[in-house]
Amino acid sequence: MTGWLGPVTLVAALLTTGLMAGLYYAFTISVLPGLARAGDLAFVGAMRQINRAILNGWFAIAFGGSALLTALAAGLHLGDPAALPWILAALVLYVSTLVVTFRVNVPLNDALDAAGDPEGRDPREVAAVRAAFEARWVRWNTYRTLACLLALGCLAVAALLRGGA
């Protein structure tokens, strides 16, 4: 097999994917429903600040690390017919969350930011900004949550089935 590097990489992929699944899940079950109950000004202001705050090193480690570590784990398990299909499935699922993030969520975040500070603006403008953002962002975040949870499950199965474990 791959000595210690294969299982360590698989566990690291499992952990970083778990962090991302947890982040998406927390947004899906608490942050977004909570913000849905807020007024337009609070919603737009909070999402703009969240979108800025999340761009940090800790987020980058999990966000990018999951894909890199899962790809590396796949490469290190090429000779393991039990684990490899599960690792590859996890990689496809997680990469799909990246595609959605960069094609849908980030452009929506950028549009929200470009709309400017909602403070002191006409409430109808702020409502329009929210309407252009919220439903689509929430829908695709739900997809990211499900896909990332499935990726996490696939990595868990791979760890359990790993040859020689």
* pLDDT tens per residue across span 71-85: 999 999 999 999 999
Token representation of residue 163: 């040859």
Cβ-in-10-Å burial (0-12, 13-18, 19+) of 16 comes to buried
- Into how many domains does the chain fold? 1
Query: The tokens of 70 are what?
Result: 């899962």
| pLDDT tens digits, one per residue of 131-150 | 999 999 999 999 999 999 99
Comparing CA positions, the residue from 94, 93, 76 lying closest to residue 2 is: 76
Minimal CA–CA distance to 48: which of 142, 121, 144?
121
Neighbour-count burial for 76-109, b at 16+ CB within 10 Å, e otherwise:
bbeebeebbbbbbbbbebbbbbbebbeebbeebb
Whether the CB-CB separation of 43 and 121 falls below 8 Å is answered with no
**Residues 98-115: pLDDT tens digits?**
999 999 999 999 999 999
Instruction: Note down the domain range covering 126.
Output: 5-161
Instruction: State phi, psi for 39 to the nearest 5 degrees.
Output: -70, 170
Phi, psi dihedral angles at 57 (to 5 degrees): -65, -40
Q: Is the pLDDT of residue 130 over 50?
A: yes
Mean pLDDT of all residues belonging to the chain: 95
Give the model's confidence band at 52: pLDDT under 50 very low, under 70 low, under 90 confident, else very high: very high
What is the share, in percent, of the chain residues with pLDDT greater than 70? 97
CB 97 within 8 A of CB 147: yes
Name the pLDDT band for 162 (thresholds 50, 70, 90).
confident
Q: What is the pLDDT of residue 3?
A: 82
Q: Is the pTM of this model over 0.85?
A: yes
Token code pair at residue 52: 């800025």
